[in-house]
Amino acid sequence: MDGRTDAQGDDWGPFGRPLFNDPEMQRLKRVGVVDVGSNSVRLVIFDGAARSPAYFYNEKIMAALGAGVSETGRLNPEGRVRAIAALKRFRMLAEGLGMAPLTAVATAAVREAADGPAFRDEVLRETGLALYVIDGQEEARLSAQGVLLGWPDASGTVCDIGGASMELATLREGRIGACLTSPLGPLRLGAIRGRKARKAHIAAVVEAMAAELGARQDRLYLVGGSWRAVARLDMERRGYPLHVLHEYRMTPKAVRATLKWIAGFSAEELSAMTGTSLARLSLVPLAGEVLRQLIRTLGPREIAVSSYGLREGLLYEQMPEALRRRDPLIEACRFAEAKDARRPGFGKALSRFIAPLFRNVPEGRKRVIKAACLLHDVSWRAHPDYRHEVCFDTVTRASLGGLTHPARIFLGLALLHRYKNKREGTRFAPLFDLLPDRDLQQAEVLGKAMRLGSMLSLDQPDLIASLKWFPVKKRLELHLPARAMGLFGEVAEARFASLAASLGAEAVVKVAS
């Protein structure tokens, strides 16, 4: 490391020095967050790369704590019992893992119920957990921060729906603006008699919130279990092959079609199709009424699903600004390389070796190419006959932020080609249809370039050999010093030829004395 700044080189940029080993970041290891919501009580323990943590542990109880609060003003008695039992268990799990004390927050049901303070006291007495009750605006802000964990430069409107409330927050290029709360949670809407009255109520509240938010945004980010259930059903209706909810995109037209489609099935039928719980599906029709009005009033062009929300926002809250600015995808891949690769650090050298092939691609694609180089060797323990499948499966279904669905498939396909020349005949064919032909070809080139580079050195292939690509002439040159010709055996020669063929190019080897 030479201490260069971002402007001088990439050593200290997003692809540079990883922060997960920094002592200041180590305090973010094994962070446990408990979210006591109106519908569910959940424990999430984060671990891994601090900027893009993995879910080390994730458990949820559908306690329905807020059921009936609108009518009685008090928490659901059965829900209280279930919530306390779950919190006792969560505390014991954390103690067994030797973790720092859990951060526990409660939202709409506890803050609005007359017996909310008594419940908080009972939680402290029975479990030792200090339950922090946050207001609606803080809930909106934390949910927006959760979105920023996955999309650092996000712009749009964040909508977080829980059991008893719905929050809206604006994001503009990674900065949080207005934060609003409303009583539009499904558990509360169920108390309004008559669909017409409920529709008028939802419209009045949403329109008032939109007026306060100001200018319309092109993208609506959906946060919350009910929204994720709608998205999963949209996938089912469309026959969408990648069942990863984070970064799933929908159009307003598609959402309206799905909500209409849902009405034609029973909850039991929908549960059988998607594996979604009946408790969650029972809230979807009312949540759907809210979503229809949001689309009508806010007029987004695109709707994106975020699996990150309040809990991830609490983790983001603890991050220093230097870490928040990091690319979540690159940090997660650096962590994976350091943990699982045979030669940690090789990915950066490999990236330099293959760079001449991708000089003119957009910056967004370049970061995915860098991610592929970091991950090119992390699945080496898998059986050789299945290594290409393990690579593709791992990447396309991994908990990674900052990665669209097409980018996931591109990354997975590049790693598949790192170990296998042809993709035809694999079980992933339906996923390939989500990429245009140009991206399929570019992923193949990337995979085969990584395959070649991994053969030319045990340390730094870019110091042993170099590639020169002449796209107009369709000529690919591999430059080698005479001393390195011993590395260019028949397997390496075949891989170079395969790379050139994927480019439709002439393969030329040049040896320098």
pLDDT tens digits along 285-336:
999 999 999 999 999 999 999 999 999 999 898 888 888 888 999 999 998 9
Q: Which domains does the chain have, with CATH numbers?
A: 23-133 (3.30.420.40), 137-312 (3.30.420.150), 326-512 (1.10.3210.10)
On whether the CB atoms of residues 314 and 141 are closer than 8 A, the answer is: no
Give the pLDDT score at 215: 81
> 98: pLDDT confidence band, cut at 50, 70 and 90?
confident
Give the pLDDT score at 26: 57
Q: What is the pLDDT of residues 326-371, one digit of tens each?
A: 899 999 999 899 999 999 989 999 999 999 999 999 999 999 999 9
**Torsion, Cα of 319, 320, 321, 323 (10° steps):** -70
Query: pLDDT averaged over the chain?
Result: 90
Mean pLDDT, residues 57-77? 93
Give the pLDDT score at 459: 67
Is 159 a residue whose pLDDT tops 60?
yes
Nearest 5°: phi and psi at 299?
60, 45
> 22: pLDDT confidence band, cut at 50, 70 and 90?
low
> Lowest-pLDDT range, 266-280, 327-341, 454-468?
454-468
Is 427 a residue whose pLDDT tops 50?
yes
3-state secondary structure of 83: helix
> 511: pLDDT confidence band, cut at 50, 70 and 90?
very high
140 to each of 66, 135, 454, how far by Cα in Å? 18, 9, 47
Is 178 a residue whose pLDDT tops 60?
yes
Give the pLDDT score at 461: 66
The reported pTM is 0.89
DSSP annotation of 356: G
Give the pLDDT score at 455: 87
Residue appearing with tokens 């928490």: 75
Q: What is the pLDDT of residues 32-42, one digit of tens each?
A: 999 999 999 99
The two tokens of residue 358 are 């991708």
